Amino acid sequence: MAYRRTPKMQGRIDAAREQILTAAHRLVAEAGYGGTAIPDVAKAAGVSTGSVYTHFPSKTALFSEVYQRAARHEIEVFREVADTKGTPRERLTQMVETFARRALAGRKLAWALLVESVNEEIDADRMRFREPYRAIIEDVINEGIKADEFVVQDAKVTSMCIVGAIVETLVRPLSRAQQADEEERLVCNLIQVCLRSAGPIMR
Amino acid sequence: MAYRRTPKMQGRIDAAREQILTAAHRLVAEAGYGGTAIPDVAKAAGVSTGSVYTHFPSKTALFSEVYQRAARHEIEVFREVADTKGTPRERLTQMVETFARRALAGRKLAWALLVESVNEEIDADRMRFREPYRAIIEDVINEGIKADEFVVQDAKVTSMCIVGAIVETLVRPLSRAQQADEEERLVCNLIQVCLRSAGPIMR
DNA sequence: TTAAGGATTGAACTCCAGTTCATTCTTTCT
DNA sequence: AGAAAGAATGAACTGGAGTTCAATCCTTAA
């Protein structure tokens, strides 16, 4: 034998892998999955096309990892907000606002993560990306029910609806930027609708 | 000159065009846009591949028309429900239920119309497909506000949210069928959430 | 220093859905 | 009937995205 993988070598490999992931992330944030070709990623990462395939078995696999990383980070942020002090109602407000504002701040990425549909595998990733948001919202709603702040309800369905409401409200702004005050209005009203969705019925 | 288009001839051309549209509709309802190739459509319509292109300039154009037709019909049904007798609250209930049940009855088609994303042009069609639903819901909400049944609100945003809520709730069931009672539960709860979204805030 | 093992390269290849077009078939009008 | 114009045909083409692989470069261990 005349070659063995040393820590130093491993470091370079890992670094290259990181470069590729970072570049892919950046390009997705600029052009979405569909608008990003592997040769572009390679160029942006400073490696060759073929090299990408020594690190990832396919485009789908690479982007799947990109999505999962971005998702994990976003969801951490979201969970932190959900865990801050305040009544369930106050926290839900914060959560919806955070979700909306972060999405609008990184439009294209949010669009890629939330709605861009490309193939079944990536679609599955997107579903998986939405699910944690839903679950966190569900928890807060259930706390609100216990605290008599929200009416007794199927928190699972309500949380689904809230995720759907947020996404639907944001789809258009995410595709093409609106006027700032228009977006402001949207976010405020979105919060109101979400609160009502979870809130008690008045008869 | 030795040829002019006679009514008889025009009839055949129109018939072929119809055949193609019908076949395309059927195939979309079975496999979605992405799962339907032009040669398949041609075969199903009993014409040649090339013939499809004498009737439609591109696959996108053909399916755009398929979508628009399906949309027009669905929206007519929806509008009828919106125009039936009853309080805004009752009507909104009927509307959500109709939307949900019709979507579940024609899963794949609903999926193609509502969420399958393929290219920008078709995406735009899908947006256009959702918009009338939203507008109809908006009208009913505004009536409800006038009737003091719903709290004063931005009905545009609420209607967006309701559309989003419905779609989000249905996405999973549309992809893979759930148990019947599970779907029943979903629809019932969905209606409740939508009513609350539009309903008055209790404080 | 040198040979072997592994990583990297990027031009070329594959694959395939959408589209084309030379040919054939139909219809119309003289 | 015959010629002209249009419609239909479907095998072949095309373009572009994802992927491959023979050649090359680098690293390690003797």
Under a CB-based contact definition with an 8 Å cutoff, are residues A136 and B128 in contact?
A: no
Q: Tokens in use for A98?
A: 């955070």
Computed from CA positions of residues B34, B40, B44, B48, in that sequence, does the dihedral angle turn out positive or negative?
positive
In chain A, domain spans? 7-56, 68-198
pLDDT in tens, chain A (203 residues): 577 888 888 999 999 999 999 999 999 999 999 999 999 999 999 999 999 999 999 999 999 999 999 999 999 999 999 999 999 999 999 999 999 999 999 999 999 998 887 788 888 888 888 899 999 999 999 999 999 999 999 999 999 999 999 999 999 898 888 899 999 999 999 999 999 999 875 43
A10: CB within 7 A of chain C nucleic strand: no
Q: How confident is the model at residue B129 (pLDDT cuts 50, 70, 90)?
A: confident
Inform me whether the pLDDT recorded for B157 exceeds 70. yes
A50: CB within 7 A of chain C nucleic strand: yes
Is A157 in Cβ contact with B169 (below 8 Å)? Answer: yes
Note the pLDDT of residue A128.
82
Inform me whether the pLDDT recorded for B63 exceeds 60. yes
Eight-class DSSP state of B143? H
Under a CB-based contact definition with an 8 Å cutoff, are residues B113 and B199 in contact?
A: no
Which residues lie below 8 Å from residue B189, measured CB to CB, with a gap of 6+?
A153, A154, A157, A158
Over its C-alpha atoms, chain B yields an Rg (Å, rounded) of 20
Longest dimension (CA), chain A: 81
d(CA A21, CA A52): 10
Is A198 in Cβ contact with B201 (below 8 Å)? Answer: no
Under a CB-based contact definition with an 8 Å cutoff, are residues B170 and B100 in contact?
A: yes
Closest nucleotide (CA of A4 to C1')?
D28
- Report chain A residues whose CB lies below 8 A from the CB of B163: 168
Over its C-alpha atoms, chain A yields an Rg (Å, rounded) of 20
Note the pLDDT of residue A202.
47
Is B185 in Cβ contact with A154 (below 8 Å)? Answer: yes
Note the pLDDT of residue A201.
53
* Domain A7-56 architecture: Orthogonal Bundle (1.10)
Under a CB-based contact definition with an 8 Å cutoff, are residues B197 and B158 in contact?
A: yes
User: How large a percentage of chain B has pLDDT more than 70?
Assistant: 98
CA dihedral A86, A89, A95, A97 (to 10 degrees): -110
Note the pLDDT of residue A195.
96
Mean pLDDT of B20-43: 96
Distance from CA of A161 to the nearest CA of B (A): 4
Please tell me if the domain spanning B7-56 has the same topology as the one spanning B66-198: no
Note the pLDDT of residue B201.
53
Note the pLDDT of residue B4.
81
Bases of chain D within 7 A of a CB of the protein = 2-12, 17-22, 27-30
Is A163 in Cβ contact with B160 (below 8 Å)? Answer: no
Q: How confident is the model at residue B125 (pLDDT cuts 50, 70, 90)?
A: confident
Nearest CB neighbour to A160, from listed B151, B168, B200: B168
Note the pLDDT of residue A7.
86
When scoring B145, B156, B196 by the number of chain A Cβ atoms within 10 A, the one with the most, hence best to mutate, is B196
Listed residue (A200, A189, A199) closest to A100, CA to CA: A189
| Whether domain A68-198 has CATH 1.10.10.10 | no
Nearest CB neighbour to A160, from listed B115, B169, B197: B169
Note the pLDDT of residue B202.
47
Mean pLDDT of B48-54: 97
CATH superfamily of B66-198: Tetracycline Repressor, domain 2 (1.10.357.10)
Mean pLDDT of B101-111: 93
Is A197 in Cβ contact with B202 (below 8 Å)? Answer: no
Mean pLDDT of B97-106: 95
Is B161 in Cβ contact with A169 (below 8 Å)? Answer: yes
Note the pLDDT of residue A199.
85
Note the pLDDT of residue B203.
39
Q: How far is the CA of B50 from the C1' of D10 (A)?
A: 7
Listed residue (B171, B174, B193) closest to B107, CA to CA: B174
Tens of pLDDT, residue by residue over B166-187, are: 999 999 898 888 899 999 999 9
Q: How far is the CA of B72 from the C1' of D5 (A)?
A: 37
